[in-house]
Amino acid sequence: MNRRSVLAALSLLGFSLAPAAAQESSTLRIGYQRSSTLIALLREDRTLETALKPLKVEVSWHEFTSGLPIMEALNVGRIDVSADVADTVPVFAQGANARITYVAQEAASPGAQAILVPGDSPLTSVADLKGRKVAVTKGAGSHYLLLAALKAEGLPFKSITPAYLTPADGRSALAGGSVDAWVAWDPFLSAAEVQAGARILRDGAGLSGYTRYYLASDSYAETRADVLALLFGKLKETGAWVKAHPEAAAERLAALWKIEAPIVLKANARRTYRVEPVTRDGLAEQQTIADAFRAEGLLPRAVDAAALPVWAPPSR
């Protein structure tokens, strides 16, 4: 692949290769998605701001529609830290030479993403997707789930027609009949089941662990280990609280997300929310993901998934 085609591919993924901007160490800039559960709770109760006061660090919050734009923002210095993104996102970012560091992970939650069809769809298996149009968010964990599910049936990715859509547009496309299936993650997955009667064709069990990662720009990880240590602690504490108090967590998130608490309760039951350090040995599935996308021509270059820097919280 020549330089021009590589740059074109990266442009399609939404990446900029511009140099990172100078950072403001007095403000922690966090990028997040609507489905960033633990960050949503921290943003709402402002406990992170309280914890960072002794360091004289303020927090600013920046919402994105998906993980790939968050990685671009990290790479060019518009934010310092990303909320949880699906396992595929760092792989695509690495393929674009993004300067990012693994900070933490939420333990695998394979049931928290799935391939959905309308309740009255005649499709009964992944094999039935051959020749069909499937909505998926490019570069998201759902993208890899679709690829892995097709491979398990002996089907290449080109056997379906992908419609690269945001979660909201994907749901609308499924409801309107312009696609035959939609690959979604929670809470969008549970909302489509409860509100629209969508049916799961296949979830990630046995196909994709769906580990979600928190990342920082390389420069921030190198200079603000004190801030990252506090953030790691608050994320771990919040994740444990969600699992210990499912009803209370669902009520709080329902108010933030403007969806019914039972939907949130269903979605949260599928997620572990167990925040852990990232280890190089634990990045084996990241390499599997990278190799799978590369084999399908969806990743512009081969990457070594374990080559990204890994930040470690201080041992107590």
Domain ranges within the chain, ordered by starting residue: 3-108+211-307, 110-203
pLDDT digit string (tens) for 282-313? 999 999 999 999 998 888 899 999 999 999 99
Q: How confident is the model at residue 12 (pLDDT cuts 50, 70, 90)?
A: very low
Whether the bond into 187 is cis, omega within 30 of 0: yes
**Kindly report the CA angle at 237 between 281 and 92, in degrees rounded to 5?**
40
pLDDT at 209 over 70: yes
Range from 48-62, 211-225, 290-304 carrying the lowest mean pLDDT? 290-304
CA distance 268 to 266: 6
CA distance 274 to 279: 15
Record the pTM. Answer: 0.86
Q: Which CATH architecture has domain 110-203?
A: 3-Layer(aba) Sandwich (3.40)
pLDDT at 158 over 80: yes
- For residue 8, the model assigns a pLDDT of 43
Residue with tokens 């393929």: 95
Average pLDDT over residues 172-177: 96
Q: How many helices (DSSP H) and strands (DSSP E) are in the chain?
A: 13, 11
Range from 1-10, 121-130, 247-256 carrying the lowest mean pLDDT? 1-10
CATH code of the domain made up of 3-108+211-307: 3.40.190.10
Percent of the chain with pLDDT over 70: 92
Q: How confident is the model at residue 44 (pLDDT cuts 50, 70, 90)?
A: very high
CA distance 116 to 183: 6
The H or E element containing residue 161 is strand 161-164
CA distances from 300 to 31, 46, 140 (A): 25, 40, 16
Token pair of 194, please? 């409860």
